[in-house]
Amino acid sequence: MASPKLLLIIIFSTFYFLSYADNIPPSNPASISNICKSTPYPTFCRSVLPKDNSTANVYDYGRFSVRRSLSAARKFLSLIEKNLRHSKDLTITAVRALEDCRFLAGLNMDFLKTSFQTVNGTSKILPTLEAEDVQTMLSAILTNTQTCLDGLQATAATWSVRNGLSAPLANDTRLFSVSLALFTRGWVPKKKKLPPHPNKRQLAFTNGKLPLKMSQQNRAIYETVSRRKLLQSDDDDQVLVNDIVIVSQDGNSNFTTINEAVAAAPNNTDGTNGYFLIYVTAGLYEEYVSIAKNKKYLMMIGDGINQTIITGNHSFVDGWTTFNSSTFAVVGEGFVAVNITFRNTAGAIKHQAVAVRNGADLSTFYSCSFEGYQDTLYTHSLRQFYRECDIYGTVDFVFGNAAVVFQNCNLYPRRPLDKQFNAITAQGRTDPNQNTGISIQRCTIRAADDLAASNVSFRTYLGRPWKEFSRTIYMQTYMDSSIHVDGWIAWNGDFALNTSYYAEYNNTGPGSNMTGRVTWPAIQSINVTEAANFNVDKFLLGDDWLPQTGVPYTSAVL
């Protein structure tokens, strides 16, 4: 996260959840006043929706709002381009922040176009899977906008205000929030119901066959790599792979760098014919890897943690935004990584320094290691799953606003700078309708060797509220004595202590004792039914897309 992590949030009451929205069917005509009561910004909502129409309903207003959101995103992208054309007059940090905004605005355009196609095509509650896809995209649009704003404020606050970017961002945030609220009200089912039979994504990947066009050499490589490292132990089905390339530093392979292999991957595949597999042999790869949005269903397998290592050292102190400080960044849908170490070696003294930034929908990391200090793993947006991974860091070392589940992972708080404390999570949910949060299941929290051996007492907390509706859940996780008795720590005064959601369920270990926990309204006491909402099956709808990856997972740990 950018430092200082400033916020542009309009505080509002959450009583609207109990208002009009739950009482009138979305297909019934309704006034703008009543429609807007079900959004976080009623006054703004009334100012942007068309004048009262006696026959208009939630669907009509929702379509208008999404269409207007697309127009606003297009205008903002043009404004960014205009400012970048005068980049010679800007600092390098300002240019980098603008480049982040351009990248994120482009993603928003894509998400809004897809969302509008859906809302324009129907006026009824959608099937769960389709509704979840659009709600996820609309949630990510808000996240992208907030990320742009954070970067501008942290690196060039005076400049950004002077050039008129903060005001459009604030208005866009409100508009996107209204669109998300109306979509949630009109198209999202109140209860998630998965189809009883495998859907098209599952059927494409669970037939246990390899494409006939695969060469015998690649077939042999696939058999060796996949059976040893990817397949679930109780399932003999093979992951469907379309093609394989090998990266090694000895020159006896297809490529010597990972970026070359990524560039060779086909563009905009839908996964039907399987993954493009990049096998990265053991070695230290000093390169910054970025997997673009058009590189979909790419699978990257290494030779193991601390064997295949991707490393870099970009940091906030050295002039990078938090967003673009990452050693490894991915936004291509359906990405899978296995047996790789991702490292940022900038060190604690350089503050924000990301090892991996993940904004890839339906992405999976299995048996990987993430090593850094502050802001190690940026689970930025969309839907993500991590299994049997190691994560090392100090301040906010798992952060972002994805819908993300960690299962059977190891979380290692390290020794921070003197007078610092550790916070494992900093979740960035800014809107109550976003379907995002961090769910940590059956993991182990244990002090890293440098922290355990320290003669100085450093406090380690489970998390803190980065944004107003921060949401994090720990369940069935072992917590060693490094976890402070308070459990959670405030961000700034009483910010978000009334609106966040923090829960612990059935954890073990000396750090799991909840007797001395802080008593904010954000701290939730939940039962097994409530905790189950954050399982893979309900929170990620993971049974729909994880089987195709071959990565082991537990659909419902409770």
The residues annotated with a catalytic role in the active site are 375, 396
- Reply yes or no: is the peptide bond before residue 521 cis, omega within 30 of 0: no
Indicate the helix (H) or strand (E) that contains 260: helix 258-264
Distance between CA atoms of residues 333 and 544, nearest Å = 14
Token representation of residue 158: 């005076």
The 3-class secondary structure across 487-540, one letter per residue, is: CECCCCCCCCCCCCEEEEECCECHHHCCCCCCCCCCEECCCHHHHHCCCHHHHH
Separation in Å, CA 171 to CA 10, 160, 177: 11, 15, 10
**40, 432 Cβ separation under 8 angstroms:** yes
Assess contact for 138 and 179: CB atoms under 8 A: yes
Q: How far is residue 62's CA from residue 181's CA, in Å, rounded to a whole number?
A: 9
Could you give the maximum distance between any two Cα atoms of the chain, in Å? Answer: 72
Handedness of CA 188, 190, 195, 198 (dihedral sign): positive
- Among candidate residues 408, 402, 350, 355, the one with its CA nearest the CA of residue 553: 408
In sign, the C-alpha dihedral spanning 201, 205, 207, 211 is positive
Using an 8 Å Cβ cutoff, are 195 and 203 in contact? no
Selection from 200, 202, 244, 206 nearest residue 222 by Cα: 244
Residues in the chain: 558
Q: What CA–CA distance (Å, rounded) separates 334 from 111?
A: 16
List of residues 6+ apart from 179 with CB closer than 8 A: 62, 65, 66, 69, 115, 138
Q: Give the position of tokens 């929030």.
A: 177
DSSP, collapsed to helix, strand or coil, labels residue 15 as: helix
**Sheet containing 471-475, strands listed edge to edge, beginning at the edge strand earlier in sequence:** 241-247, 275-280, 298-302, 336-338, 363-366, 383-387, 403-407, 437-441, 471-475, 501-505, 523-524
Which DSSP string do the residues of 81-101 spell out, in sequence order? HHHHTTGGGS-HHHHHHHHHH
Contacts of 492 (CB under 8 A, 6+ apart): none
The residue with tokens 């923090």 is 502
Structure tokens at 148: 């742009």
Q: Give the bridge partners for 422, in sequence order.
A: 460
- Residues sharing a CB contact under 8 Å with residue 163, sequence separation 6 or more, in sequence order: 83
